[in-house]
Amino acid sequence: MRKRERVLQVASVLSELMVGEVKLRRRRYRDELADPEDFERARAAALRQSLEHLGPLYIKVGQVLSTRPDLVSQTVIDALQDLHEQVMVRPFSEFEPVLAKNLGAHWHYRFKEIDTEVPLGAASIAQVYRAVQNDGQEVVLKVQRPGVAAATRLDMEILAQAVKLAMKRAPNIAEIFQPEAMLEVIFTAMRPEINFNVEASNMDEFRDMLEQFDHLEVPDVLDVTTEVLIMTKAPGVSIRECNLDDFADKEREAIARDLCAMLFHGFMVDGLFHADPHPGNVFVAPGEPATVIDFGMIGRIDRKMALGYTRFMMATALNDGEAAGRAALEMGTLTSRANIAGFLSDMQRYIPTMSNQTLQNMEFGNDFNQFLVFCTNRGIAVNPAIALFGKATANLEGSLRRFAPELTPFDVFRDTMGDIVRDQAKQMVAEEEILRVANEAFSASRALPEQARYLLQAIVNGQYVLRTRDDSAVIHEAREDVRARKMRRTLVGIAAAALWMDHRRRRPPS
């Protein structure tokens, strides 16, 4: 599809949404939707239908919006939380040209059997089939829909240009919500879905990452191209379909704890997390490790964000609202209207409501995302990766609540904190990290004399002008300096804690 045609198609769907909005307002005016809640639910349903109609990229945007209570109302969140693609299963014959293109004209000789009648899964990106290879091994065959990659890239281009144009007209909104950065997070997370080579690489990364967890594993990749992925079939059924009576209580708890620890360790140490661990993406069988599948959408963060979130979780687990708020500030950006005192007050009131609750009595993902509301209301822009992590947390929560509702997430965090701190300390003293710090120091030492030389030359030539700054700029810079000092103290504290724990571990028992 050409760009102009797709723009017109998107515009048509949005126009229908706007027309529907007008009709709903007329109905409210005529008292047909007198109840405000009914009116909001109808609007939210119309938005959901439009996103589903526009396809996978817009659905991902809707899923991320469902984790942003600072952007949309709770009614919209409720409508978008279980947003999924409404796609018809296409006949297998439509995928045969893709298989021939990627595996060769004689691709069918590789398989003894393919269940083409009922796919294991169908989405707008691909369809998935159960198959048996000639050696008798049962496998999963994932085949991309023809033309979907080009269509998704086109949607990315259109949406990015539209948002960029809109934000030029609304700089205040751009400053606090950072929609362009939010889109790039979504795009980065989605690109593996349209390139199975990247998804296979993600699986390899996660396989290495999950070696430390006895109750989790990742399918093996048997063959991969851009549009076809062949992997081992996960034993059992998804958590959504399993019978809990088939599992011992200890087995359920062990699997659930490893799933929770996987998300924490990935975000805080590896800078890598599964962005869609919903109940359908975790397979379980009695006596077997759980299998995590579907690595098309993952999230990545940098070291600073990981350390900030570590401090946030530590403070929350210790029921320290002010410390949690200051850690949250490290993960955000102060805007021109930032109110730090008000934000810290919000967090001091809110954090005590989260600690020491089981999944039966809380919604960890949604509760975590509540701090986004405090950030927005107090003029603090949050890194968009946090929203994606919020989506992952909410999805994993659904899996855990289904499989082990008695679990307390903060208990898992407290139990794994020692390993997380130790691994962070190892990264800090690794050769690459030392070289990075040394390089930054060397660059700074070379830049200072050069800057001094230019300053002296400007003074001699009469070009030096003393400019004064307003108080808000000074205050903003002072706040940034305070954040930098706190980050340095955090790094030193983590290293010291890791060394102390390692010493305790190595000390012979008395």
- Among 188, 208, 240, the domain-final residue is 188
Asked if the structure places residue 359 within a domain, the reply is no
pLDDT tens digit sequence for 287-312: 999 999 988 788 888 888 888 888 88
Q: What average pLDDT score do residues 389-404 get?
A: 83
Largest CA distance in the chain: 84
3-state secondary structure 92-157: HHHCHHHHHHHHCCCHHHHEEEECCCCCCEECCCEEEEEEEECCCCEEEEEEECCCHHHHHHHHHH
For residue 154, the enclosing domain spans 150-188
Tokens representing 46?
Answer: 């119309």
Confidence of residue 468 (pLDDT cuts 50, 70, 90): very low
- The end-to-end CA distance of the chain, in Å, is 73
Say how many CA atoms lie within 13 Å of 252 toward its Cβ. Answer: 18
Distance CA 276, CA 298 (A): 7
Alpha helices by DSSP H, 81-178: 96-103, 148-168, 171-177
Asked if the structure places residue 396 within a domain, the reply is no
- What is the CA 350 to chain-centroid distance, rounded? 23
Pairing mode, strands 216-217 and 332-334: unpaired
Asked if the structure places residue 317 within a domain, the reply is no
Asked if the structure places residue 212 within a domain, the reply is no
pLDDT tens digit sequence for 409-426: 777 877 888 888 888 887
- The count of domains in the chain is 3
Distance CA 37, CA 49 (A): 18
Count CB atoms within 10 A of the CB of residue 203: 25
Asked if the structure places residue 476 within a domain, the reply is yes
The DSSP symbol for 193 reads G
- Among 22, 56, 80, the domain-final residue is 80
Distance CA 369, CA 385 (A): 12
Q: How far is CA 336 from CA 156, 171, 278, 379, 471, in A?
A: 30, 12, 38, 7, 11
Q: How far is CA 55 from CA 21, 51, 76, 92, 191, in A?
A: 21, 7, 18, 21, 15
405 has pLDDT over 70 = yes
The per-residue pLDDT for 435 is 60
Q: How many residues in total does the chain contain?
A: 510
- Among 61, 80, 99, the domain-final residue is 80
Asked if the structure places residue 28 within a domain, the reply is yes
Contact between 369 and 68 under an 8 Å Cβ cutoff? The reply is yes
**Among the listed residues 277, 285, 226, 279, the one whose alpha carbon sits nearest the alpha carbon of residue 403:** 279
pLDDT tens digit sequence for 356-383: 655 555 566 666 667 778 888 888 887 7
Q: Which residues pair with 298 in a beta bridge?
A: 274
Contact between 308 and 331 under an 8 Å Cβ cutoff? The reply is yes
pLDDT tens digit sequence for 101-145: 999 999 999 999 999 998 988 887 899 999 999 999 999 999 999
- C-alpha gyration radius of the chain: 26
Asked if the structure places residue 56 within a domain, the reply is yes
Asked if the structure places residue 20 within a domain, the reply is yes
Helices (H) and strands (E) in the chain — how many of each? 18, 14
